[in-house]
Chain A
């Protein structure tokens, strides 16, 4: 069986970031903390 998640999350174009945020773009954007092929358990973070 398979579960597919589709969701909206922050994805700010770099040019739209403020000077401060440019230094750490990931502070604003969603990024996955898992990779293809990785095993995962319920409750673990997929991304942040």
Chain B
């Protein structure tokens, strides 16, 4: 009787769990349908604080992200690969026909996630005066940064400041010099030499770059702006999208900042319920100048996609364990007086799982 009883429990608990997950999924689909409906009627989704966002703060998001990264790095047997990757493609609307390799050749999900595309899959707009999209995705917000507050709207009802996103606050330059003394953000001893060398470079040359840096742009008076405005565009990449980041124009990259930060999810729900999401999350900011003046590009990570790898700085490590690092840690580096010249459409970085 006892064994009979316990045999009954197991299927019951499983069914109950599956039903709960199903109910949560249906609720979420209903909410997303509501958002799409509102958008179709021209009503932008509004910011609504959510207890789940508070709950998220208590989760070990970085540990979850890194575990997810380890999982998705596992080499899959060849026979299993088409099933996993086709499943991923169906779940997230990925276009497998554009992948440059036959899908059996991607050894792990992480390898598949950073797939390159066939030659010619993404032709560049031929106009010489346009700004190109650096990624595949959805335009969440775009517009002109107005007023002295230089705020960007995260979602209707909540905005965040450009200087917090880009790290243009004066403390950043001092923090790079203060980092020289403390070296507080070096990941481990043998890197401290390399990191402090970069920071010596950044602390001395940063001053000469400041004239073009975001700090100068964001703090100058309206009379100094001349005939220029500051614009922004926020692009969201879904899990099924092509995840390599290209250059939006011909430009010179003078400065790179890596914000250690958190790894909140950045899906549409998170954007509507977590304040300062893009300013809190781990991100890598490239800053420089294009033909029309200042330009910066921030690649913002998330729980699912916590890694950002730079083509011209492969040694930069993101989504590292939290040991000894504060969330406010900023590791910055300058690319010298002439910066790095990058051509429109050139690949500059890649997001990765975990």
User: Is the beta-carbon distance between A7 and B136 smaller than 8 angstroms?
Assistant: no
Binds A, one of B24-32, B119-127, B173-181: B119-127
User: Is the beta-carbon distance between A43 and B246 smaller than 8 angstroms?
Assistant: yes
Q: In chain B between 253 and 280, which residues have their CB closer than 8 angstroms to a CB of chain A?
A: 266, 278
Least distance between A24 CB and chain B CB atoms (Å) = 14
Flag B84-100 by CB within 8 Å of A: 1 or 0 each: 00000000000000000
Residues of B within 8 A of A30 (CB): 131, 229, 231, 292
A35 and B142 alpha carbons, distance in the complex (Å): 7
User: Is the beta-carbon distance between A8 and B134 smaller than 8 angstroms?
Assistant: no
Q: In chain A between 1 and 28, which residues have their CB closer than 8 angstroms to a CB of chain B?
A: 1-13, 16, 28
Question: Given A2, A33, A36, A43, which contacts B302 in the complex, CB threshold below 8 Å?
Answer: A2
Least distance between B116 CB and chain A CB atoms (Å) = 12
Question: Given B122, B144, B294, B301, which contacts A41 in the complex, CB threshold below 8 Å?
Answer: B122
Residues of B within 8 A of A47 (CB): 130-131, 142, 231, 233
Least distance between A10 CB and chain B CB atoms (Å) = 6
Residues of A within 8 A of B137 (CB): 3, 39-40
Question: Given A2, A6, A33, A36, which contacts B231 in the complex, CB threshold below 8 Å?
Answer: A6
User: Is the beta-carbon distance between B234 and A2 smaller than 8 angstroms?
Assistant: yes
Question: Given A6, A10, A36, which contacts B44 in the complex, CB threshold below 8 Å?
Answer: A36
A1 and B243 alpha carbons, distance in the complex (Å): 9
A40 and B125 alpha carbons, distance in the complex (Å): 12
Least distance between A9 CB and chain B CB atoms (Å) = 5
User: Is the beta-carbon distance between A11 and B246 smaller than 8 angstroms?
Assistant: no
Interface size on A, residues (CB 8 A): 34
Q: How many A-B residue pairs have CB under 8 A?
A: 189
Q: Given A11-B144, A37-B138, are A3 and B300 also a contact pair (CB < 8 Å)?
A: yes
User: Is the beta-carbon distance between A10 and B229 smaller than 8 angstroms?
Assistant: yes
User: Is the beta-carbon distance between B231 and A44 smaller than 8 angstroms?
Assistant: no
Flag B316-328 by CB within 8 Å of A: 1 or 0 each: 0000000000000
User: Is the beta-carbon distance between B248 and A40 smaller than 8 angstroms?
Assistant: no
Any chain A CB within 8 A of the CB of B340? no
User: Is the beta-carbon distance between B132 and A4 smaller than 8 angstroms?
Assistant: no
Residues of A within 8 A of B132 (CB): 42-46
A4 and B236 alpha carbons, distance in the complex (Å): 9
Q: Which residue of A lies closest to B228 (CB)?
A: A8
A36 and B36 alpha carbons, distance in the complex (Å): 12
Q: Given A1-B300, A42-B242, A44-B132, are A10 and B139 also a contact pair (CB < 8 Å)?
A: no
Q: Which residue of A lies closest to B301 (CB)?
A: A1
Q: A4-B234, A8-B230, A42-B133 are in contact. List 9 more A-B contacts (CB 8 A).
A: A3-B299, A4-B278, A6-B162, A7-B131, A9-B229, A10-B229, A28-B227, A48-B127, A48-B129
Interface residues of A (CB under 8 A from B): 1-13, 16, 28-30, 32-48
The 4 closest A-B pairs by CB, nearest first: A11-B229, A8-B293, A45-B130, A45-B125
- A-B contacts, 24 listed (Cβ < 8 Å): A1-B236, A1-B266, A1-B351, A3-B234, A5-B232, A6-B295, A6-B296, A8-B229, A8-B292, A10-B227, A11-B229, A32-B231, A32-B233, A33-B130, A36-B142, A39-B137, A40-B133, A40-B138, A41-B133, A42-B136, A43-B125, A45-B133, A46-B131, A47-B130
Interface residues of B (CB under 8 A from A): 39, 44, 122-125, 127, 129-145, 152, 162, 165-166, 214, 217, 227-237, 242-246, 248, 266, 278, 290, 292-302, 304-305, 345, 351
